Amino acid sequence: MTKVPCPICKTPVNWEKQADTRPFCSQRCRLIDLGEWLDESRRIPGEPAQIPDRTPDEDDGYRHD
């Protein structure tokens, strides 16, 4: 019988028995993988959501040459 490791938890899975969830051992692992996928695709177009340390006000106050 063919066994494959679940991509998520590495549990050996009987490939033929797990037609619904393969290559995962369970629906849960399948959903975890799906969640990671969604997370990945969300990151691709994402810009770093970092707020600059200085506000424009503070920046203006810095210019005291």
Binding footprint of Zn ion on the chain (CB under 5 A): 6, 8-9, 11, 25, 29
Written as six digits, the tokens of 53 are 């340390």
Rg (CA), the chain: 24
**Which CB, 9 or 38, lies closer to Zn ion?**
9
**Which CB, 11 or 55, lies closer to Zn ion?**
11
| CA end-to-end distance (rounded Å), the chain | 78
**Which CB, 10 or 54, lies closer to Zn ion?**
10
- The least CB distance from residue 33 to Zn ion, in Å, is 9
Q: Are 19 and 10 in contact (CB under 8 A)?
A: no
